[in-house]
Amino acid sequence: MKTLKQILHLAGAITFIGAYLTADSESWRLIHVYLGYGFGIIFSLRLLIGLVPRTSMAFQTIWMRANLFKTIVQDLKDLKLERLYKWQIWYGSGMGILVFLMYLLSIPLVLFGIMTYEEFGGKWFIKFSENSHEFIGEFYLSIVLIHLVLVFGKYLLLKAKNQFLRHAN
């Protein structure tokens, strides 16, 4: 299951980045559309796998991580500052919220893209679909960038911690 998760994660990242980079070019429109369909298929698979309990991609796991934010808020209310210094709870909560948002936004992103490409509805609805697709795509990109900053920040933090422990011994 872990290998499947990694493959779907990489494929989803590649299709999203490719679709984003080809979004503003009329000559690359068909590639943008196919990458968008690919992204939709990949996230549909991830959503289906998310229904399988006790996997790292299960919705329960993602929801539990996102709900760590409630713990942070409660610790702030109770002034339990020593618990707030632990970066793991911030990281887990942040990643849970970001991944939950990515799952949530992938559905309207793809659907509005399909409605735009297929020119579903009247002139007003097509324009609404196009603007919604573009807005969600930009918002999704910002979530992806925050996700990458958190992953890179964790990497740097753990690397610094390991170097400190090596020099301390």
**pLDDT confidence band for 19 (50 / 70 / 90):** very high
Q: Which helix (H) or strand (E) holds 115?
A: helix 87-117
Residue that has been written with the tokens 């900053």 in this structure: 149
* Average pLDDT value over all residues in the chain: 88
**pLDDT confidence band for 128 (50 / 70 / 90):** very high
Q: List pLDDT tens digits, range 96-116.
A: 889 889 989 999 999 999 999
* pLDDT exceeds cutoff 70 at 126: yes
Q: Model pTM?
A: 0.83
Helix, strand or coil for residue 163? helix
Q: Please, are residues 117 and 133 in contact by the beta-carbon 8 Å criterion?
A: no
**pLDDT confidence band for 64 (50 / 70 / 90):** confident
